[in-house]
Amino acid sequence: MEKRHSTKINRRSFIKSSAMAGGGLMLSFNWLASCKLTPEEVGKLPGEWFKINGFLKIGDNGLVTIMSPNPEGGQNVKTSMPMIVAEELGVDWKDVIVEQAPLDTEAFSFQFIGGSQAIRRGWNGLRTAGASARQMLREAAAAQWQVPVSEISTESGVLHHRSSGKSAGYGDMASSAAQIPVPEDIKLKDIADFKIIGTSQKNVDGLDIVTGKPLFGIDIQQDNMLIAMILHPPAFGLRLKSMDGSAAKGMPGIKDVFTIKVLHDDYVRQHFDTCTFLEVVAIVGNSTWEVMNAKKAVEVEWEPFETYTEERVPYGGSQTTLTIPSGLENSTDHGELMEKMAAQKSAQVRKDGDPESVFQNADKIIERTYTAPFLAHNCMEPMNFFAHVTNDRARLKGPLQKPELTEQALSGRLGIPVENIDIQMTRLGGGYGRRSYAHWLIEAALISQQVKAPVKLIYSREDDMTGGIYRPMYQAKYRAALDANNNLVAFHVNAGGIPESPLYANRFPAGAVDNYLAESWSVDSNITIGSFRAPRSNFMASAEQSFLDEVAEAAGKDPIAFRLELLDRARTDPVGENNDYDPDRYAGVLRLVREKSNWNATSNGNRGVSAYFCHNSYAAHVLDLEIKEGKPVVQKVTCAVDCGIVVNPDAAANLAEGGIVDGIGNALYGELTFEEGVPKKSNFDAYRMIRMAEAPKEIEVHFVESDTDPTGLGEPTFPPIFAAVANALYKAKGERLYQQPYLKYLS
């Protein structure tokens, strides 16, 4: 089927330049993120390139440069997104060069990564940019050869007029094409004609990564650059009272010790302006080692703060008031608070039918409660950022997920206009939501402003792990009612957390049960939380899918067949109108994982299944494990994913595998507890991460064949693996697990 796309929708995304030295065509467009090829792949470069904001540029020798607005955090957008442009442009992949763009909110929109949105949100814009450029090149060739444009075809960067035998490379027509208006309407390729999309291409930064090239923020070096570190309160609930840095100032290599206030008291924070400690101590010196030593000599006094409120504007929402309570919190108290809240009447979020009366008359009721602790992100590269702030300008560079959402806060705090702020992005050494919150960028800028020199701020591992921002602590209580024929007739979920609720009221099995009730609650806390890979879903999937396995067992049904039965009801006769999943796609991954794992044929009983929908995509896992010397050993994970069209299969499989390994590690080991407001783990000697030998011995990833536009992949494989682990452990050990981390509670 022919697919057409109007360029009018993103008209301001296309900036055509006809003033390029040496000729060439340039299109600026939104949602462009891409790659840099090796010198061997690049070949001979054109004589000159013009580089402005975001653009597609065709050189006079046919090479194509694509600037990448989006940060690269390991999700491989620097390879996959330019593949989309190259596909519609009709060039060879080897002829594409890509560079990282700085932050430019005029040229780009949504210039950040998160929520598995990069490919999904960029799909049409990237295709349109490539297809528009191809059409303009065709029109240029038609005009020069005096033939109808409909007779011009393209192949591998070459324009052809078959009947006359004329041909020309894209570079030969680039200057002429630059004079042609951007077409109002373009034809996009039919999926069946894709030559690049759907093929596996290697990570273009791979060689640089494994050979240690300076790609990351921590690698930044500059003449006269100073090193800075910070001291923050040792406990949540404390603030700075006084500081004496005189002893530290006298130590070798130390330039200054002072306090900074990250945000103004009256600042209305946007969602990603979360900042745990508003006032910190800065230590600045010549080297990391000298600054680390000086930190120990700073004399600091901390004091408790009183309960206060701050204004927030949630992402995509309206301004709200957040309460930050006083006190030094404890994990034992958190557990008691959650039990108390779950026992009270909670806010009703969704209700179908009459669940209360059905539960009263049910033949069988299953009731279980699931909990999960706070989790730290623990990116391999600790937080860092480079800043050079002068009287009226600021130049910054480092790893950041959402630079465009930080720019306004930085401008207001520095007193420098946005147009005089230049934020450049490096590759992220891990993100997972942690680098969405850029208080350390503002800290680096304030420090540079104070010392009037270029500064690289570096967090130690302890600074990072004890300074927030964490995955919240959660609890979910489930009830299911079965009738005399073991049919699920009522379902109740009551979920909450500290300090937010994880509930998604309209997700499966909502829509599949006549009588359904969803309730939500939360408890205020001064422990700072934020996005963590697949926010909220990472807990709800583990609880929901563990509970559904137990309900299936109580009903005497196969766990996959039980889920498919519910999904069939949601497909043929759905309950309610707000169900946020597609039953066919959901069932599709369950059927595929059942087939690929030989679910019905195997005699191995130590396997668990789980499936979940989040971030617009669907994932299902079957996990096989053995118990060796009293500990679980994951032998194999079979994974099925429906994320729409797969742009780069190898990269997609790698991303799915990463989510699986990450999830297994958090499920078995992840936990952060607090005592009198102090995080009890501050480095990897205490905070247990999964080790290489503990990863699954084998992972198979299978993608549902689809002609649906891409729907996201960075997060969807992560949430369901938790329950696959729990359900397999039940088969192996004969005991259900309701608290994470599982190994802590496994007898």
pLDDT in tens, 462-502: 999 999 999 999 999 999 999 999 999 999 999 999 999 99
Give the pLDDT of residue 6: 52
The larger pLDDT score, comparing residue 170 to residue 15, is at 170
Band (pLDDT 50/70/90 cuts) for residue 603 is: low
Does the pLDDT of residue 52 top 50, yes or no? no
In what order do the strands lie in the sheet containing 455-458? 254-261, 279-285, 226-231, 455-458, 384-389, 394-398, 421-425
Band (pLDDT 50/70/90 cuts) for residue 41 is: very low
Look at the chain and report how many structural domains it folds into: 3
Give the pLDDT of residue 604: 57
Q: Per the structure block, which two tokens stand in for 706? A: 């689809």
Residues 77 and 56 placed together within one structural domain of the fold = yes
Give the pLDDT of residue 359: 98
Residue where the block lists tokens 């557990």:
335
Residues 282 and 401 placed together within one structural domain of the fold = yes
Band (pLDDT 50/70/90 cuts) for residue 223 is: very high
Residues 21 and 119 placed together within one structural domain of the fold = yes
Residues 396 and 267 placed together within one structural domain of the fold = yes
Residues 641 and 711 placed together within one structural domain of the fold = yes
Q: Per the structure block, which two tokens stand in for 726? A: 């729990």
Say if strands 678-679 and 698-703 run parallel, antiparallel, or are unpaired: unpaired
The larger pLDDT score, comparing residue 206 to residue 416, is at 416
What residues make up the domain containing 273? 219-308+383-458
Whether residue 337 is contained in a domain is answered as no
Does the pLDDT of residue 34 top 80, yes or no? no
Percentage of the chain exceeding pLDDT 70: 91
User: Range with the lowest mean pLDDT among 51-60, 137-146, 406-415, 630-639?
Assistant: 51-60
CA distance from start to end of the chain: 58
User: Range with the lowest mean pLDDT among 10-24, 135-149, 282-296?
Assistant: 10-24
Residues 453 and 550 placed together within one structural domain of the fold = no
DSSP code of residue 315: T
Band (pLDDT 50/70/90 cuts) for residue 10 is: very low
Residues 602 and 712 placed together within one structural domain of the fold = yes
CA distances from 611 to 59, 563, 722 (A): 47, 9, 10
Does the pLDDT of residue 726 top 70, yes or no? yes
- Note the helical H segments in 583-741: 583-596, 649-669, 718-733
Mean pLDDT over 158-169 rounds to 95
User: Range with the lowest mean pLDDT among 30-39, 468-477, 503-512, 721-730?
Assistant: 30-39
Whether residue 90 is contained in a domain is answered as yes
Whether residue 317 is contained in a domain is answered as no
Of 467, 546, 461, residue with least CA distance to 736: 546
Does the pLDDT of residue 679 top 80, yes or no? yes
Residues 521 and 590 placed together within one structural domain of the fold = yes
> Mean pLDDT of all residues in the chain?
89
Mean pLDDT over 76-93 rounds to 88
What's 482's domain CATH number? 3.30.365.10
Whether residue 704 is contained in a domain is answered as yes
Does the pLDDT of residue 702 top 90, yes or no? yes
Query: Is 44 in a helix, a strand, or coil?
Result: coil
Residues 206 and 223 placed together within one structural domain of the fold = no
d(CA 93, CA 197): 10
d(CA 406, CA 418): 11
Whether residue 324 is contained in a domain is answered as no
Mean pLDDT over 723-747 rounds to 96
Q: Of the residues 409, 437, 458, which one is the last residue of a structural domain?
A: 458
Does the pLDDT of residue 90 top 50, yes or no? yes
Residues 682 and 559 placed together within one structural domain of the fold = yes
Give the pLDDT of residue 184: 82
Does the pLDDT of residue 30 top 70, yes or no? no
Does the pLDDT of residue 528 top 90, yes or no? yes
Residues 197 and 226 placed together within one structural domain of the fold = no
Give the pLDDT of residue 95: 84
Does the pLDDT of residue 115 top 90, yes or no? no
Q: Per the structure block, which two tokens stand in for 744? A: 């802590």
474 in Cβ contact with 371 (< 8 Å):
yes
